[in-house]
Amino acid sequence: MNWQEIEEGAIIKHDIKKSPKTGNWRYMKPAVDKKTCIGCGTCFLFCPEAAIDFDSERKADIDYDICKGCGVCATVCPQKAIKMGKN
Amino acid sequence: MTYQTDKTNKKALTGGAAAAEALRQINPDVMPVYPITPQTPIIETFAKMVADGEADTEIIDVESEHSAMSAAVGAQAAGTRAMTASSSQGIMLMSEVLPIAAGMRLPILMLVSTRALSAPINIHGDHQDVMFVRDSGWIQIFCENVQEVYDNTFIALRLAEKVRLPAMVIMDGFTTSHSVENLEILENSVVKKFIGEYNPKNYLLDFEDPKTFGPVALPNFYFEFKRAQIEATDGVIGEIGEIFGEYEKISGRNYDVLESYQLDDAEKAIVVAGSTAGTAKVAVDELREQREKVGLLKIKLFRPFPYEQITEALKNVKKIAVFDRTVSLGSIPPLYSEIKNSLFSILNSQFSIQSYIYGLGGREIFKDDIKKVFEDDQKGREIKYIGLK
């Protein structure tokens, strides 16, 4: 690659389809009890991987492609609605 | 500091307030700022406009100029229009981040009200601060008066976004930034149309097409990134003419990278940048009344330096006086040096000198590369590169 072909500003472009699935690293897996979840969003704020969103009924919804299974969500949940189990 | 003279588009403003008025019309997304004399009137006036709801810019009160420029880099990389302003020691504190903005090709706009460097401490205007950062990769445009501050703010923004490089609009501290002058203001809608929407080529918050900004580049590729940046910087001179032309259509004011005043038949010429050009014009007029063939060359674009245009403008002048409002300690002053460089190509010189850039980012240079240089044709100002891919 010569200087005329090089990416402007040293930017690195990523193919989102080839992005690593950090969910593959998971040993423990969180599971949301949708009946107990009150949709307070505490887990959403604390999740270090931004792997938690709300589903259509405003219940915590975990993206298992990204979730590394750290367990922070289960610890911070005020309803104890998230339980960690074997992956 | 606004004095509306009548119902026309004329106002009397300080340079700082004129810059703030231009900022209000641009309405940038993010403005991280830290106060320093004599830049303060720019931000002070603009912050009041934001507080009064005349602009909806996110002003970030940061803890230092280093943070101001770092936040501007982050905001611009995210995909917004980010701007800031500073002076003197503030620019010194930013200086670590300035080449990062340029190397990442982020078109940040900075308004500079120039000021001397410490020590001894002094708050008044000279060009040491902007000259200190002249190699940082930023476009530098000098303003003579309040009208030029207002106009160049729009021109520099358009230019920066076109070539994707950061730009400084430079006014003389106090002389321009704090002095009230008449100027003509454009309609908000005219400005909006001229500057247009900001559509970044690459931006960090592009979730569909994710990118990494600011990665490491080792000796195998660093040189090539810098070579591409040199090309982009030199390209400014080719792009600016069209923007000046468009601006003339909306404002009636005709600008160029330099301004020749009484230079056509001049035997002697003064070369100067900034507000002193105004005083020098009066001096030229008075000398002309005494039948002295004197002219003036005002430098507007200092980075990139318009060597060819300056050679053309000065080629028939016998005696040239170059005015630098700065020092280059241990060397000759920068504007004087650039003017001499401009004229070297047309002097009947016994020397042939070729510029070579080598070894950037740790690129290796070998004995054979060194031996080969004398086989090259040495012509003009074109830079040659050793070991470039």
Q: Are B155 and B143 in contact (CB under 8 A)?
A: no
Percent of chain A at pLDDT > 90 equals 86
Q: Do A13 and B213 touch (CB under 8 A)?
A: no
Distance CA B320, CA B335 (A): 12
Phi, psi of B34 (to 5 degrees): -140, 130
Q: Are B32 and B60 in contact (CB under 8 A)?
A: yes
The position carrying tokens 């019309």 is B25
Residue type at position B81: R
Q: Do B224 and A3 touch (CB under 8 A)?
A: yes
Kindly report the nearest CA distance between residue B165 and chain A, in angstroms: 10
Distance CA B386, CA B363 (A): 9
Give chain B positions within 8 Å (CB) of A12: 211-212, 215
A46 DSSP 8-state letter: H
Q: Are B325 and B274 in contact (CB under 8 A)?
A: yes
Phi, psi of B146 (to 5 degrees): -65, -40
CA distances from B328 to B89, B127, B278, B336, B337 (A): 17, 11, 24, 10, 10
Q: Are B299 and B272 in contact (CB under 8 A)?
A: yes
Is the Cβ of B223 closer than 8 Å to some Cβ of chain A? Answer: yes
Chain A contact residues (CB < 8 Å to B) = 1-4, 6, 8-14, 16, 19
**Residue B381 has what pLDDT?**
82
Q: Do A14 and B211 touch (CB under 8 A)?
A: yes
Nearest neighbour of A8 by CB, restricted to B105, B215, B217: B105
Query: What single string gives the DSSP state of each residue in B17-84?
Result: HHHHHHHHHH--SEEEE---TTTHHHHHHHHHHHHTTS---EEEE-SSHHHHHHHHHHHHHHTS-BEE
In chain B, which residue's Cα lies nearest the Cα of A9? B104
> Which three-class secondary structure state does DSSP give residue B334?
helix
Q: Which two tokens stand for residue B258?
A: 């330099």
The position carrying tokens 């401490």 is B121
Q: Do A1 and B221 touch (CB under 8 A)?
A: yes
**Residue B389 has what pLDDT?**
93
Domain spanning A21-86: which CATH class is it, in words? Answer: alpha beta
- Report the DSSP pairing between strands B139-142 and B167-171: parallel
Is the Cβ of B225 closer than 8 Å to some Cβ of chain A? Answer: yes
Which of B225, B360, B385 is the best mutation test for A, with the most CBs of A within 10 A?
B225
Answer whether residue A32 shows pLDDT above 60.
yes
Residue B103 zone, left/alpha/beta (φ > 0; ψ -120 to 50; rest): alpha
CA pseudo-torsion sign B65, B71, B75, B78: positive
pLDDT in tens, chain B (389 residues): 444 444 569 999 999 999 999 999 999 999 999 999 999 999 999 999 999 999 999 999 999 999 999 999 999 999 999 999 999 999 999 999 999 999 999 999 999 999 999 999 999 999 999 999 999 999 999 999 999 999 999 999 999 999 999 999 999 999 999 999 999 999 999 999 999 999 999 999 998 899 999 999 999 999 999 999 999 999 999 999 999 999 999 999 999 999 999 999 999 999 999 999 999 999 999 999 999 999 999 999 999 999 999 999 999 999 999 999 999 999 999 999 999 999 987 776 788 889 999 999 999 999 999 999 999 988 778 899 999 99
**Residue B7 has what pLDDT?**
56
Q: Do A9 and B164 touch (CB under 8 A)?
A: yes
Task: Please report which helix (H) or strand (E) contains residue B251, including its range.
Answer: helix B236-251
Domain spans, chain B? 3-250, 258-329, 356-386
Q: Are B354 and B373 in contact (CB under 8 A)?
A: yes
Query: What single string gives the DSSP state of each residue in B189-236?
Result: HHHHHHH-----SS-TT-SSS-EE-S----TTTHHHHHHHHHHHHHTH
Q: Do A3 and B103 touch (CB under 8 A)?
A: no
CATH ID of B258-329, from 3.40.50.920, 3.40.50.1820, 3.90.950.20, 3.30.70.1090: 3.40.50.920
Instruction: Determine how many CB atoms are found less than 10 A away from the CB of residue B320.
Output: 17
Q: Do A14 and B217 touch (CB under 8 A)?
A: no
Kindly report the nearest CA distance between residue B232 and chain A, in angstroms: 10
A23 DSSP 8-state letter: G
Task: Please report which helix (H) or strand (E) contains residue B319, including its range.
Answer: strand B319-322
Kindly report the nearest CA distance between residue B346 and chain A, in angstroms: 31
Q: Do B214 and A10 touch (CB under 8 A)?
A: yes
Kindly report the nearest CA distance between residue A3 and chain B, in angstroms: 4
Distance CA B86, CA B94 (A): 9
Q: With CA atoms as reference, report the closest residue to B267 among B284, B248, B246.
A: B284
Nearest neighbour of B228 by CB, restricted to A6, A13, A16: A6
Q: Do B211 and A9 touch (CB under 8 A)?
A: no
In chain A, which residue's Cα lies nearest the Cα of B226? A3
In chain A, which residue's Cα lies nearest the Cα of B101? A9
Domain spans, chain A? 21-86
Residues A15-41, mean pLDDT to the nearest whole number: 92
Give chain B positions within 8 Å (CB) of A19: 210
Phi, psi of B373 (to 5 degrees): -60, -30
Distance CA A38, CA B335 (A): 69
In chain A, which residue's Cα lies nearest the Cα of B232? A8
**Residue B1 has what pLDDT?**
44
**B 153-172 near A (Cβ less than 8 A):** 164
**B 184-203 near A (Cβ less than 8 A):** 201-202
Q: Complex ipTM, two decimals?
A: 0.83
Query: Measured at the alpha carbon of residue B221, what is the angle toward residues B219 and B223, in degrees to the nearest 5?
Result: 80
Cα(first)–Cα(last) distance of chain B, in Å? 54
Which of B76, B211, B384 is the best mutation test for A, with the most CBs of A within 10 A?
B211
Distance CA B168, CA B83 (A): 10
In chain A, which residue's Cα lies nearest the Cα of B107? A9
Task: Please report which helix (H) or strand (E) contains residue B103, including its range.
Answer: helix B98-103
Taking the domain B3-250, which CATH number applies?
Answer: 3.40.50.970
Kindly report the nearest CA distance between residue A33 and chain B, in angstroms: 30
Distance CA A47, CA A71 (A): 9
